[in-house]
Structure 1
Amino acid sequence: MCERFKLASLSDRVQFVTTNKLCQLCLNKHPNKCKFIFKCSFCKEKHNSLLHQDNPEKVIKQVALSINKCDDVLLPTIKVKLIDKNGHEFYVKALCDSGSQLSFVLSDLTDKINCNLTDEHMSISGICDDKNKINQKASFQIYSINNNSKLDISCCVVPKITCDLPQFKIDANSINMPSHIKLADPDFYKCDKISLLLGCDLFFQILLRDKLPLTAGLCLHNTLFGYVVAGKVSESSASSLCSNTVSINNDEQVIQSKNENDSLGSLEINMQNFWKCEQVSEIYKEAASDQELAESIFTESMVLEDGIFQVDLPLKQNLDQLKLGDSLSRAIQRFHNLEKRFAKDPVLFQKYKAFIEEYLSLGHAEYVGIEIYDLESGQIYFLPHHPVMNENSSTTKLRVVFDGSMFTNLGISLNDVLLNGPCVQNELFNILILFRLHKYVFVTDIQKMFRQVKLNKAHCQLQNILWRDSPQEGLKCIQLQTVTYGLKSSTFLATRCLVELAHRYKDLYPLGASILINNTYIDDANVGSNDIDSLIEMKKQLIELLKLGGFTLHKWSSNDKKVLNDIPSESKQFTEIDLCKDENQCVKTLGVSYNIHSDTLKLTSPQQV
């Protein structure tokens, strides 16, 4: 279904269907009665949900149930190092197969290495009930060719695992492999003997979260042994395909095995199931090389001009090599769900609308016509968004959060192709300890810190959101122009700008630079001194230094009023009236509560429900 039809207003959609004499159910043109029997998901009447007159439209997901082009599928392999009986190193190729509950090793390999062989009697039966016996298991270690990783494994000993893989030619030069990637099998494209099969019992021990698309079907997946290459490879000259699936029947101690030489359809299903693993949503582990690459991208692309920072997104691939797939359809669906929530809570809608209008008025975003994008390029991304309420906040009770982890139709998110970057600030515990060493202190934070850092215009096409003021209007596209919370790299980019300020102007503002390096965590600065005049000078230097990068401070509080005499009342955490009314006024900072009257920190555990 045309995406522009989905984006059009309700009245425009109705008019289009009426003018073109289309069926109100299937939205196609046909002479006879419509063969479809589905109904509107809102009112259950016999019309398409996109033509429903009262409530926000619901997107109907289109599903293709046939394939008219046969592609070859590359199975993931790793090259592992082994030690033979004479102490010499040698290398073999291992196949990764999550469809197998057990791992396997060739019998001729066990004769070559030092391994612990034990008797293990099991029966294997294939899809034609062709039964075979397993009599031994071998235990040994395998080693990575890229790092110090090693793995203790236990495998069933068999005379043959599968055919040599891959079974088709691959032009490695046609694949745009990122330069910083270390492959688990540098010869993944060369047909070679499979000496090991790592089943589900082992493979998910080494599988990491990171996934990086190479083409429309080919992906890199990170493991402890390096990145594996897997997925569809189009336009190759394969003559046969092999797949192995092993499962155990515990009651009968029978292993069922499939050795399939059949259609791509079943192989596609196996590959889809292969990569369904648990997602880690917030913690991103990166190798040193990835962090070095993020730092390199920052230093090469960062610009500080007219007091404003501009940065690039630290992408794992060049922008023109991205193949993200379709994110628009799912973003539309998520926005319709948000509108349903607005319909139930008009107050929330008004606050949300005010947030969007402020975002636009500050120049942090702008409307763009969706027609300027090539939606088929795979280099456009739409961010879903949702509200987070914090009634305890004195300044921002509603925050709109953007979701960079939403998967496209290819199972890839924007966060998947972004580098996390290293931590460039002092440890949280160290900042708290430094804060408690001094007699006089102040606490402040950087206002809208992420949004003070502009994004390279070429990368803004990866930060689009959908919005409209009424369900009767057509959906509009808003392009975010600054570093955006919800993206994996945002904290690194914003905090790295602070560190850059400190390094550039440390001779001019030595006290302010020291605060940014030693006393700042994300956007919170917790600063102390035993001399009040020194603390006031530190405050002045911090304000002036941050101005050079376009940053401003607010939510000021201190355990001594003299420190904040020149701070406007609207920039303070508490007014004089607030302080007189309540001597237990606390500031939330660094995950704890700070009482400015008693000069104490308080930890509060969540209340049990």
Structure 2
Amino acid sequence: MVGVKAANGDQHHLRALIDSGSQISVITERAAQILGLKRRRCKGTIFGVGPTSEEPIAQQTYLGWILCGSVKSYQCNVMVHNNYDDLQRFWECEDISLEKEMTSEDEFCLQYFSKTTKRLEDGRFEVRLPIIEELKHKLGSSKTTALAQYQSLERRLDQNIALANDYKRFMQEYMDLSHMERSASERKMEFYLPHHGVIRDSSTTTKLRVVFNASAKSSSGYSLNDIMYKGPNLQQDLQQIILKWRQFKFAYTADIEKMYRQIWVFPEDQAYQRIFWRESKDQPVQVYQLKTVTYGEKAASFLAINCLKQLAAEEKKKYPEAAKEVEESFFVDDFCGGHHTLQQSKQLQADLIELLKSGGFNLRKWRSNEKQLLADLDTEQCDKQTYEFKHMESTKTLGLSWDPQAFSLSWS
């Protein structure tokens, strides 16, 4: 006998049978009336729950009604009215899609990329930002708001010396690598990007990343991202990459160092990537412009991934197998690959490094379940930490951790 609270708060003593192995819970009609429980309409007519243990039991699940029972054969006594829209969405989530539908905007972005992208003398790519021409004139002033946000950032940095030092090191690296430069003249079409720091505890290199906000609204209510095409989703399916990767006897992982920042932005478009910065308050606030593809812009992922695909296409004759891996085994900047023999694994690894180097990309943080695949690499190219594979979206984080010695996977 157990005490049960009714809908109106009254206490009743009812008899309960507890079965820890049961997958359903049932209640008699009389008990439901005593407790004054609210009914909820279901899409089905149910028979089969009764005093005889041999009869089948109907259970409502997120996939619809299912029947279970110990008899070998029986007549189905459930009239099912499934919500096919919910079922279709489930299978779409679980499906490994090999083809992605292209919209007219996607097709335009690909054509625009093909027409405007070029390789420079050192092999690196230079791209144009895919600005929507019809909306360009709607971009308002952003300078005043960005300056106010920068002054607010400085006040926060004054209260956290450690964060301020990390921030300064990050920005100094930008300047040392010529990824940003002073901008003296104003342009009619320009945009100022507010920025702030994000701490990444899982990172084995730079703990702090400065994020530039291309979604900040200008005086007209439009942001830089509002007047920019996103481009098609060119990412490979994560499940497909992992399933393929797990087949290899010799496996390894790596990632591309500062992938976005290895791609130059056309000089005229750099005016859309202006920021405020100064090393110390003893100096006046200066205007800089970012010269490379910038994290936080809507088209950044499309531009970076498409540069990899273009590089693979152009280097296919020289590195056929490595080019195929660039096409199929990269999830943005993360690589998962391998081979069935040690010799082939070494050759593929060497070809991948050379292919990507020809486009200005450095493949690093190598991990493997075979020490010989790391023996010929420089120490700074190897990663001593547990590999973490992340897919960031606006609503979720999908992580995968790999222990290369045991070749075991775990979700985090």
> Same-fold call, TM > 0.5?
yes
Alignment-derived partner of residue 426 in structure 1 = 236
| Offset of residue 474 of structure 1 | 2.0
Alignment-derived partner of residue 398 in structure 1 = 208
574, 582, 602: which one aligns with 2:410: 602
Distance 2:319 2:389 in 1: 25
Alignment-derived partner of residue 305 in structure 1 = 120
Distance 2:355 2:134 in 1: 34
Distance 1:333 1:474 in 2: 14
Amino acid at match of 1:336: Q
311, 315, 322: which one aligns with 2:131: 315
373, 385, 402: which one aligns with 2:186: 373
Question: Cα gap change, 1:527/1:365 in structure 2, threshold over 3 Å: closer, same or farther?
Answer: same
Alignment-derived partner of residue 389 in structure 2 = 589
Distance 1:511 1:544 in 2: 12
158, 168, 171: which one aligns with 1:353: 168
Alignment-derived partner of residue 108 in structure 1 = none
Amino acid at match of 1:410: S
Alignment-derived partner of residue 249 in structure 2 = 439
| Offset of residue 481 of structure 1 | 0.4
Q: Pairwise mapping of residues 58-137 of structure 1 onto structure 2 (< 5 A)?
A: none
Amino acid at match of 1:602: S
Amino acid at match of 1:315: I
| Offset of residue 336 of structure 1 | 1.3
Deviations 1:485-515 (A, max 9, x none): 0000000001100000111111210111011
97, 105, 116: which one aligns with 1:290: 105
Distance 1:472 1:407 in 2: 30
Q: Are the equivalent residues in 2 in contact too, given 1:434–1:528 (CA < 8 A)?
A: no
| Offset of residue 424 of structure 1 | 2.3
Distance 1:443 1:548 in 2: 20
Distance 1:466 1:484 in 2: 15
| Offset of residue 586 of structure 1 | 1.8
| Offset of residue 355 of structure 1 | 0.8
| Offset of residue 468 of structure 1 | 1.3
Amino acid at match of 2:234: V
| Offset of residue 589 of structure 1 | 1.7
Q: Are the equivalent residues in 2 in contact too, given 1:424–1:499 (CA < 8 A)?
A: no
Alignment-derived partner of residue 334 in structure 1 = 149
Task: Judge which range, 399-408 or 503-512, deviates more.
Answer: 503-512
Distance 1:544 1:359 in 2: 25
> Secondary structure of 1:322's partner?
helix
Q: Are the equivalent residues in 2 in contact too, given 1:425–1:518 (CA < 8 A)?
A: no
526, 543, 548: which one aligns with 2:353: 543
Distance 2:359 2:228 in 1: 24
Q: Are the equivalent residues in 1 in contact too, given 2:102–2:232 (CA < 8 A)?
A: no
Q: Pairwise mapping of residues 8-27 of structure 1 onto structure 2 (< 5 A)?
A: none
2:367 is the alignment partner of 1:557? yes
| Offset of residue 363 of structure 1 | 0.9
Distance 1:473 1:418 in 2: 34
Amino acid at match of 2:404: I
Alignment-derived partner of residue 280 in structure 2 = 470
Distance 1:364 1:472 in 2: 24
279, 288, 311: which one aligns with 1:501: 311
Distance 1:305 1:331 in 2: 32
> Secondary structure of 2:312's partner?
helix
> Secondary structure of 2:138's partner?
coil
Alignment-derived partner of residue 180 in structure 1 = none
Aligned-pair identity (%): 36
Amino acid at match of 2:260: F
Deviations 1:94-142 (A, max 9, x none): xxxxxxxxxxxxxxxxxxxxxxxxxxxxxxxxxxxxxxxxxxxxxxxxx
> Secondary structure of 1:393's partner?
coil
> Which portions of structure 1, spanning 4 or more consecutive aligned residues, are displaced by more than 6 angstroms?
none
2:265 is the alignment partner of 1:455? yes
Amino acid at match of 1:588: E
> Secondary structure of 1:295's partner?
helix
Distance 1:548 1:297 in 2: 23
Give the unaligned 5+ runs of structure 2.
1-100, 391-398
| Offset of residue 429 of structure 1 | 1.2
Distance 1:593 1:540 in 2: 25
Deviations 1:429-469 (A, max 9, x none): 11111111111111000001100000000100000010112
Distance 1:586 1:449 in 2: 21
Alignment-derived partner of residue 297 in structure 2 = 487
2:199 is the alignment partner of 1:389? yes
Higher strand share: 1
Amino acid at match of 1:353: K
> Secondary structure of 2:133's partner?
coil
Higher helix share: 2
Distance 1:476 1:287 in 2: 42
Amino acid at match of 2:145: R
- What TM-score does the superposition give when structure 1 sets the normalisation length? 0.49
Question: Cα gap change, 1:567/1:322 in structure 2, threshold over 3 Å: closer, same or farther?
Answer: farther
> Secondary structure of 1:330's partner?
helix
Amino acid at match of 1:312: R
| Offset of residue 323 of structure 1 | 3.2
Q: Are the equivalent residues in 2 in contact too, given 1:586–1:594 (CA < 8 A)?
A: yes
Distance 2:372 2:246 in 1: 19
| Offset of residue 472 of structure 1 | 4.2
